């Protein structure tokens, strides 16, 4: 900020310094030569010095006047040059970006944008353009920055948009991100797009993506691109993606496998209370449904009981998990903890938590997973053999992480298989939101497929299996003859119920989309057999889904 302020004010400072030195010099000159004067004479003499007598010739006058005479033309020239550069800098940038192709456009004032830009520069991913509101003050200006007051066709579309490959939208205010995306889509000409372009809205707060979806805002924005064959619109929040990605390797049943119907309940501890902790609990609620069909038991240690109560009620978490609120000293006395998840970025608090865990006879050797918002000094010093560090900021500022859709490959396969079967039975309805191609699906429908896809790995672990490339020499697992498939079907039903509870659904006599009631939110044993068959078919379809995705299930 200091550097930018100095550059912008340098000509003014130079002119001011010259004027002050001129006033002092003329004051001394008039006094030494006994010339009568007043303040207007001094001011006139300084102006005359700047405009009429501005040259570099040496004269026998005092040092102040000589310095002022040298600075005068330099300061005026500097002011004029900077004024011209400011006037034409935006035009220079526009002419420059006209030559770009398959570039990326990064829009908004979110702090994460600078991390993303730095990664693009360091990894040489290609050309980029930064678009920000001209009212946003940037302490360290970035090259290729276009400023705007209102979105207009000439600036973002005719010049920058149609030749781009990616457009990222991320503001400090998530509402502004939504408004920007909607305004941009109203501005562009869909028929003019002749190449693949991805628009990705990056939410800071997961609640914004949830509420925007519930209120139909995302659906309305999505409809603006429904007629385009080349334009794709995606939504992403860093916290959920980072947690989802890491929990595929940090899940409790990876630490202690559940492969038997009679295996005991899994218990974990969660320490801290922040947004990351909340999203972590939601991830566990949606994915921790095992072949023993017992709820995951979590001991929660935090300092905000009332706020936590509101959180659990909002997502109906007590219907999904067995939650025990406990302080950290009491947690250290528990003997069946499989893993500890710590969500804390304050270094002092983190050290205090680690001290308690280290002193505990029961928890000192338990695997710990530490979720932080950004790297800090303490986490970098912790021993890695017991402490797995998950740095959320690494998901924020890495270009490959933002555009990576490998996590969704299996989810897309599940959806495409669903669409294929609808076509085969002539049940495909082009106007139904769940019957659209993947990139046009509402985010909630994508999430349904994502949750089902992520749970496939857990189901494989329940059978003592893992997925490998289809060309692996290992023998494929005989899926059809396993006696535990019915237990897996029950686990699948529990997983579906967890997702419905998370989305606000409740038990009701009939299915009602508006009131969010569903008659199947009951234990698996109480379902009609034809309803159970949906869950059984989901399990039986896993080998096919793996095969289509290039994998197969094998014994570990």
Q: Residue 541: which of 431, 414, 445 has the closest Cα?
A: 414
Report yes or no on 395 lying in a domain: no
- What string of pLDDT tens digits covers the 556 residues of the chain? 444 455 556 767 777 777 787 778 777 767 776 667 677 766 676 666 655 454 444 445 667 766 766 776 777 677 777 777 666 665 666 677 677 888 998 988 888 888 888 888 888 888 888 877 655 545 455 555 655 544 554 656 666 788 899 999 999 999 999 998 998 888 888 888 889 999 999 998 998 888 888 888 888 888 888 788 889 888 888 899 889 989 988 999 999 999 999 999 999 999 999 999 999 999 999 999 999 999 999 999 987 788 999 999 999 999 999 999 999 999 999 999 999 999 988 888 888 999 999 899 999 999 999 998 876 667 667 777 788 888 887 777 788 888 888 888 999 999 999 999 999 999 999 888 889 888 778 777 888 899 999 999 999 999 999 999 999 999 999 988 888 999 999 999 999 999 999 999 999 999 998 899 999 999 999 999 999 999 999 999 999 999 999 999 999 8
Q: Residue 507: which of 521, 525, 497 has the closest Cα?
A: 521
Same domain as 264, residue 231:
no
Among 88, 113, 144, residue at a domain's last position:
88
Report yes or no on 397 lying in a domain: no
Same domain as 78, residue 118:
no
Q: Is the Cα torsion angle 390, 394, 395, 400 positive or negative in sign?
A: negative
Same domain as 425, residue 504:
yes
Report yes or no on 117 lying in a domain: yes
Q: Which two tokens stand for residue 248?
A: 């595929």
Report yes or no on 149 lying in a domain: yes
Residue 515 to residue 519: CA distance in whole angstroms = 12
Same domain as 164, residue 208:
yes
HEC-encoded secondary structure of 495-513: HHHHHHHHCCCEECCCCEC
Same domain as 360, residue 474:
no
The total number of structural domains that make up the chain: 4
Report yes or no on 399 lying in a domain: no
Residue 171 to residue 180: CA distance in whole angstroms = 9
**Where does 33-110 have alpha helices with state H?**
39-51, 63-97
Give residue 487's domain range.
405-555
Among 88, 118, 138, residue at a domain's last position:
88
φ, ψ of residue 144 to 5 degrees: the values are 60, 35
Same domain as 268, residue 177:
no
Same domain as 549, residue 423:
yes
Same domain as 127, residue 81:
no
């Amino acid at each position: 900020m200091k550097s930018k302020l100095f550059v912008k004010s340098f000509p003014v400072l130079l002119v001011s310094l010259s004027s002050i030195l001129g006033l002092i010099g003329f004051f001394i000159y008039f006094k030494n030569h006994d010339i009568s004067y007043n303040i207007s004479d001094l001011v006139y003499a300084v102006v005359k010095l700047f405009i009429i007598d501005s040259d570099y010739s040496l004269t026998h006058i005092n040092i102040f006047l000589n310095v002022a005479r040298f600075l005068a033309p330099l300061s005026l020239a500097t002011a004029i040059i900077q004024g011209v550069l400011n006037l034409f800098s935006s035009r220079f940038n526009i002419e420059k970006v006209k030559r770009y192709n398959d570039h990326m456009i990064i829009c908004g004032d979110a702090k994460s944008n600078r991390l993303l830009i730095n990664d693009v520069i360091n990894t040489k991913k290609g050309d980029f353009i930064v678009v920000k509101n001209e009212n946003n003050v940037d302490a360290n200006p970035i090259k290729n920055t276009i400023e705007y007051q209102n979105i207009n066709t000439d600036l973002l579309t005719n010049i920058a948009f149609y030749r781009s490959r990616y457009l990222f939208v991320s503001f400090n205010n998530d509402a502004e991100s939504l408004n920007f995306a909607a305004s941009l889509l109203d501005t562009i000409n869909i028929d003019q797009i002749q190449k693949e372009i991805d628009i990705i809205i990056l939410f800071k707060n997961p609640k914004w993506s949830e509420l925007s979806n519930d209120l139909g805002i995302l659906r309305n924005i999505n409809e603006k691109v429904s007629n385009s064959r080349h334009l794709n619109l995606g939504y992403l929040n860093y916290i959920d993606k980072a947690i989802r990605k890491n929990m595929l390797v940090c899940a409790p049943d990876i630490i202690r496998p559940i492969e038997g119907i009679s295996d005991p309940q899994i218990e974990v501890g969660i320490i801290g209370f922040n947004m990351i902790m909340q999203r972590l609990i939601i991830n566990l609620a949606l994915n921790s449904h095992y072949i023993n069909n017992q709820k995951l038991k979590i001991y929660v240690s935090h300092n905000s009981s009332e706020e936590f109560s509101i959180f659990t009620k909002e997502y109906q978490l007590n219907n999904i998990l067995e939650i025990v609120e406990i302080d950290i000293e009491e947690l250290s006395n528990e003997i069946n903890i499989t893993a500890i998840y710590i969500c804390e970025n304050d270094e002092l608090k983190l050290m205090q938590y680690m001290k308690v865990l280290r002193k505990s006879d029961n928890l000192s050797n338990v695997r710990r997973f530490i979720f932080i918002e950004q790297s800090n000094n303490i986490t970098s010093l912790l021993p890695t053999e017991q402490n797995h560090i998950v740095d959320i900021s690494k998901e924020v500022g890495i270009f490959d992480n933002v555009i990576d859709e490998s996590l969704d490959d299996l989810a897309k396969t599940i959806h495409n298989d669903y669409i294929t079967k609808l076509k085969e039975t002539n049940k495909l309805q082009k106007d139904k939101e769940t019957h659209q191609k993947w990139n046009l699906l509402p985010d909630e429908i994508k999430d349904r497929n994502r949750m089902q896809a992520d749970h496939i790995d857990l189901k494989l672990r329940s059978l003592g299996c893992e997925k490998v490339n289809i060309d692996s020499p290992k023998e494929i697992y005989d899926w059809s003859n396993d006696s535990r498939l019915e237990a897996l079907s029950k686990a699948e039903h529990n997983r579906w119920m967890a997702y419905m509870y998370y989305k606000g659904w409740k038990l009701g006599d009939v299915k009602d989309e508006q009131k969010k009631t569903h008659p199947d939110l009951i234990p698996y044993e109480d379902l009609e057999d034809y309803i159970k068959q949906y869950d059984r078919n989901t399990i039986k379809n896993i080998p096919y889904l793996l095969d289509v995705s290039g994998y197969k299930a094998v014994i570990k």
